Amino acid sequence: MSQPNQCWTDEHVHVILYYLRKKSKQPSEVYVLVNCNGEFHWVLVVVVLKQQCIKVYDSMSSSSTNRKLSTEIQKLPTILLKYLESSELFEQKDRTNWSVLESYQDKNRSYPFEVIHVTGIAQQTSNSLVCGLFVATYAEILSDGLQVPSYGIISQSLRMRYASILWNYGRLRVAMLVTMKTHRGLDLKKTKFICLNKNVMVITID
């Protein structure tokens, strides 16, 4: 994932978003990956529950994919409402009293979420395979409670950074696992650690 001109896989982005979930400062926001109608392009959709809106962050917002994307995005308010109704989220007021929030006042529960296509954000260069990287970067910035800048996202530097973060995160997880297994008296012989090189380690646990 650190190599230039290499497209990230779904697994790369999913793991990064899992890592970001651990440190997110925005518990009322839900981050969703959306594929552009079968196109080779991903965008970040942020469901902001307290503002009753869906924000779309697209690193190629000026391209033709945006028109195709809108079809998929327009389905989200209906899908989201069905989920919220079935989960009875609005009946759960121990953390949030939804009825007193400005976005929910004078609206019934079937009122659709507003879709907002966020503009003025950093864009990827044409024909570059970095939409996954931009999705991860957008998500990290937003999870820290910041606004996505209009420029300054340097793809190669971020590739190296995320590869390093995930490598270190993986090593910490392995160390924690070994500690837990040792303290619990479990059989470590069934855990195999294979170091392919300084950047790649494979762990198998039976």
Q: What's the average model confidence in pLDDT over 187-204?
A: 46
- DSSP type of residue 27: T
Does residue 140 register a pLDDT over 50? yes
Residues 206 and 121 in one domain: no
Encode 86-119: b = buried (16+ Cβ within 10 Å), e = exposed: eeeeeeeeeebebeeeeebeeeeeeeebeeeebe
Q: Is residue 78 part of a domain?
A: yes
Q: Is residue 1 part of a domain?
A: no
How many distinct structural domains can be found in the chain? Answer: 2
- Domain of residue 159 covers 154-206
Residues 102 and 135 in one domain: yes
Whole-number pLDDT of residue 12: 72
What is the per-residue pLDDT across 26-43, written as a single tens digit (0 to 9) for each? 667 888 888 776 667 889
- Give whichever of 11-25, 55-69, 119-133 has the largest mean pLDDT: 119-133
Residues 148 and 168 in one domain: no
**Lowest pLDDT segment from 77-81, 125-129, 176-180:** 176-180
Residues 189 and 88 in one domain: no
Q: Is residue 94 part of a domain?
A: yes
Residues 142 and 196 in one domain: no
Of the three residues 111, 128, 152, the one that is the final residue of a domain is 152
Residues 144 and 161 in one domain: no
Residues 161 and 98 in one domain: no
Of the three residues 152, 169, 193, the one that is the final residue of a domain is 152
Whole-number pLDDT of residue 185: 53
Residues 148 and 182 in one domain: no
Task: Please tell me the distance from the alpha carbon of residue 159 to that of residue 156, in angstroms, as a whole number.
Answer: 5
Of the three residues 117, 135, 152, the one that is the final residue of a domain is 152
